[in-house]
Amino acid sequence: MARRLLVIGGDAAGMSAASTAKRALGDALEVVVLERQPWTSYSACGIPYWVAGDVSALEDLIARTPEQHRANGIDVRTGATATEIDLDAGKVVARTADGTESFAYDDLLIATGAEPVRPDVPGADAAGIYGVQTLADGRRVLDALAGRPRHVVIVGAGYIGVEMAEACVRRGLQTVLVGKHPTPMPTIDPELGQLIATGMRADDIDVRVPVTVTGFEADLDGHVQAVVTDHGTIETDLVILGAGVRARTELAAGAGLPTGIKGALPVDSRGRLDAERHVWAAGDCVESRHRVSGQQVYVPLGTHANKQGLTVGRNLAGDDMEFPGVLGTAMTKVVTLEIARTGLGEQEASDAGFTSVAVTIDATTSAGYMPNARSMTVKLVADRTSRQVLGAQIVGREGAALRIDTCALALWNEMTVDDLMMTDLGYAPPFASVWDPVQQAARAAVSELGRPLR
């Protein structure tokens, strides 16, 4: 008889694992996936662009439908909400259209993802306050926008917050972005965050920082009409939450499974949460190891979810594959600004016990004399003793952000600033200066550190 893999959650991590294992094992593995929603394998990161109008239909954001997965032999149950895990019995109870159903498993993968953080303040349950995590969330925002609101307040200035701010501005809304930190995008160091604030304001986003939301006011119909903050009340027609997400792990915790950093599931490098009882976890509900700090962190991103899912799938298929950890690489675009980061910021480096040096340089995205040259700023953080690159951040215009991958591979390979400075990167006037901006930053760091002693 075939073994049965039961997957809770049908997005990136769950379906990557399911597809990988099924493809490898075929009939020797039965795969059942429980998914609350009608969709599988979709791009939550694409929702802001759907709202902005860049993407015309919900279907465009779906990489593989339940039907397509079923055609590959995966038993996808949409509309099935797992409500209880019984580890001793090896089964999961789910609420389905037909009532309650029980699913036995040999291996269980928990891929329950994340959910938007909702501010714990009075009025937060008013109508017209939207998170942006699922396609259903995106559809609700689009429905709200169809009512032609004029004012929107984005609460939270993380990646989703700034991307939704762009979407709203481009749709012609008066857009206020409220963030509790001194600058938008708290994963970017403050002096670069200041560039982001200035750039966003120039692009008509009313950035208000540091401002703390203390409540929401609703009208008689229970619909939000104002955001109350420690810097006054902001009237609005709708509110979008962009203050990040938290791991959805109540189900796992309820079964007695461990939780770790920020409530996420502490899996090992192979994706095992409870090896003895054949429980795996992957995606936005798990914690990861940060390769630079060596610490466990919670970095819920689609890139990791896909790789973690692949890892679990390969391991279920009898391989021995490790998820190698994360650098905290991330990037985004806000109207005309490109923003990217990897590794540790200056404060993070200090918190992780490094004595670091930081340099910031201004450069251009192409040779300075080219008409397409745009400004960009690169910050590098390096360890004073080992001279290793610990982190990098980029804020600039078109053509700036993709260079974060160069920095990410420098971190991945524990390169020193000396080595990075001398690498053979691509050069042609439409793309770069003869010293790429990343290398200009590395040179500045070498200069700051002095040449190593002989």
Give residues 320-339 in contact with its own copies (rule: CB under 8 A): 320-321, 323-333, 338
Member of 3, 45, 231, 296 binding its own copies (CB under 8 A): 45
Member of 399, 441, 442, 444 binding its own copies (CB under 8 A): 399
Counting Cα atoms < 13 Å in the Cβ hemisphere of 277 gives 18
Work out how close the CB of 292 gets to its own copies at its nearest, in angstroms, rounded to a whole number: 10
Which span sits near its own copies by CB under 8 A: 29-37, 244-252, 353-361, 404-412?
Answer: 404-412
Question: Residue 89 corresponds to which amino acid?
Answer: A
**Cβ within 8 Å of residue 79, ≥6 positions away:** 35, 36, 37, 38, 96, 97
Contact call for residue 429 and its own copies (CB under 8 A): yes
Member of 303, 347, 350, 385 binding its own copies (CB under 8 A): 303
Beta bridge partners of 393: 341, 379
Residue 230: count of CB within 10 angstroms of its CB: 10
**How far apart are the C-alpha atoms of 66 and 34, rounded to whole Å?**
11
Structural contact between residues 18 and 314, judged by C-beta atoms closer than 8 angstroms? no
- Please say which residue, 1 or 434, places its beta carbon nearer to its own copies: 434
- Please say which residue, 227 or 361, places its beta carbon nearer to its own copies: 361
- Please say which residue, 332 or 360, places its beta carbon nearer to its own copies: 332
Contact call for residue 171 and its own copies (CB under 8 A): no
Name the residue among 347, 249, 320, 262 with its Cα closest to residue 9.
249
Task: Considering only residues 370 through 389, tell me which ones interact with its own copies, judged by CB under 8 A.
Answer: 370-371
- Give every strand in the sheet of 99-104, ordered side by side: 81-86, 91-96, 99-104
Work out how close the CB of 436 gets to its own copies at its nearest, in angstroms, rounded to a whole number: 7
- Please say which residue, 249 or 366, places its beta carbon nearer to its own copies: 366
Contact call for residue 369 and its own copies (CB under 8 A): yes
Name the residue among 42, 22, 44 with its Cα closest to residue 31.
22
Member of 86, 268, 319, 362 binding its own copies (CB under 8 A): 319
Work out how close the CB of 141 gets to its own copies at its nearest, in angstroms, rounded to a whole number: 16
Asked if 45 is an active-site residue, the reply is yes
**How far apart are the C-alpha atoms of 346 and 29, rounded to whole Å?**
48
Contact call for residue 434 and its own copies (CB under 8 A): yes
Which span sits near its own copies by CB under 8 A: 31-39, 93-101, 232-240, 369-377?
Answer: 369-377
Contact call for residue 54 and its own copies (CB under 8 A): yes
Helix, strand, or coil (residue 293): coil
Member of 183, 342, 364, 440 binding its own copies (CB under 8 A): 342
Terminal Cα-to-Cα distance of the chain (whole angstroms): 66
Contact call for residue 294 and its own copies (CB under 8 A): no
Helical segments of 226-316, H only:
250-254, 302-316
Task: Considering only residues 84 through 143, tell me which ones interact with its own copies, judged by CB under 8 A.
Answer: none
**Cβ within 8 Å of residue 272, ≥6 positions away:** 279, 280, 315
Work out how close the CB of 14 gets to its own copies at its nearest, in angstroms, rounded to a whole number: 14
Instruction: Please pick, among 45, 168, 285, 407, the residue that the annotation labels catalytic.
Output: 45
Which residues are designated catalytic? 45
